[in-house]
């Protein structure tokens, strides 16, 4: 699976309240509606800047804070193809895998806002086309690859009737 798009760059410790504020997440299960407020407290106009397939790039500890699965879902439904960060908070990372949002750990200091990227999930590499540079990405553990390949944890359960890892 290869994604191509433009980078939106954020800093360290992008927390789940920034990704989708509590005041929105409790109102609806309509993720397309929630997606309109993605990253709003960091950049009020962010949703309107996204072109389908773009990447969110953070620093370390991306997704820290709440267990709200609305966070990866809002990013996914805003048509962001993947999130790249130096490191992810544990619950966000699990939620992203469970809901089928690709997350890539790599040295994001090598990526600037507006850079064009090509991300090969299977191959594990990130190519910064603007800078002509290949950035190695940390491979996903086999259990997570299995869940992602099944389309997330819900399809995995539907397929096997429980865990088959």
Partner 1 sequence: MGQTIIEKILSKHSGLTAKANDIVVAQVDFIMGQDGTSPLAIRAFENMDGKEVFDPQKVALVIDHSSPSPNDGVSALHKLMREFARSKGVHLYDIGEGVCHQVVPESGKVGPGSLVIGADSHTCTYGALNAFSTGVGSTDLAGGLVSGKMWFKVPETIKFVCQGELPQGVYSKDLILYLIGNVTADGATYKATEFTGEAISCLSMDARFTISNMAIEMGAKAGLMEADDTTFTWLDRFSDTKFEPVEADSDATYAETKEFDVSDLEPQIARPHTVDNVCPVSEVADTPVNQAVLGTCTNGRLEDLHAAASILKNRKVHPDVRFVVAPASKLIYLEAMRDGTLQTLVEAGAAVVTPGCGPCVGTHNGVPSDGENVISTANRNFKGRMGNSKAFIYLGSPVTVAASAITGKITDPRDFIK
Rounded distance, CA 11 to CA 21, Å?
A: 18
Q: Single out the residue of 4, 6, 47, 61 in contact with partner 1 (rule: CB under 8 A).
A: 61
Q: Does 27 bind partner 1 (CB under 8 A)?
A: yes
Residue 8 or 25 having the CB closest to partner 1: 25
Residue 129 or 159 having the CB closest to partner 1: 159
Contacts of 95 (CB under 8 A, 6+ apart): 63, 67, 69, 71, 72
Q: Does 26 bind partner 1 (CB under 8 A)?
A: yes
The sign of the torsion formed by the CA atoms of 89, 90, 95, 98 equals: positive
Q: What angle do CA 125, 127, 128 make, to 5 degrees?
A: 145
Question: Is residue 10 a contact partner of residue 57, using CB atoms and an 8 Å limit?
Answer: yes
> Interacting stretch for partner 1, rule CB under 8 A, among 49-57, 65-73, 101-109, 124-132?
65-73
* Binding region for partner 1 (CB under 8 A): 13, 15, 17-18, 21-23, 25-29, 40-42, 60-61, 64-70, 73, 87, 89-91, 94-95, 98-99, 141, 143, 152-155, 157-158, 161-163, 165
């Amino acid at each position: 699976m290869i994604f191509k798009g433009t980078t939106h760059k954020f800093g360290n410790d992008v927390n789940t309240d920034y990704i989708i504020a509590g005041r929105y997440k409790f109102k609806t299960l309509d993720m397309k509606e929630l997606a309109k407020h993605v990253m709003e407290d960091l950049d009020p106009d962010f949703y309107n800047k996204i072109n389908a397939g773009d990447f969110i790039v953070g620093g370390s500890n991306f997704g820290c804070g709440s267990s709200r699965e609305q966070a990866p879902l809002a990013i996914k439904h805003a048509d962001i193809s993947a999130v790249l960060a130096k490191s992810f908070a544990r619950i966000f990372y699990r939620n992203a895998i469970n809901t089928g949002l690709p997350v890539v750990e790599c040295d994001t200091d090598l990526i600037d806002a507006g850079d064009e990227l090509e991300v090969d999930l299977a191959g594990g590499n990130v190519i910064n086309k603007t800078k002509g540079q290949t950035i190695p990405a940390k491979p996903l553990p086999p259990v997570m690859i299995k869940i992602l390949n099944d389309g997330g944890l819900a399809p995995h359960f539907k397929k096997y009737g429980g865990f088959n890892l």
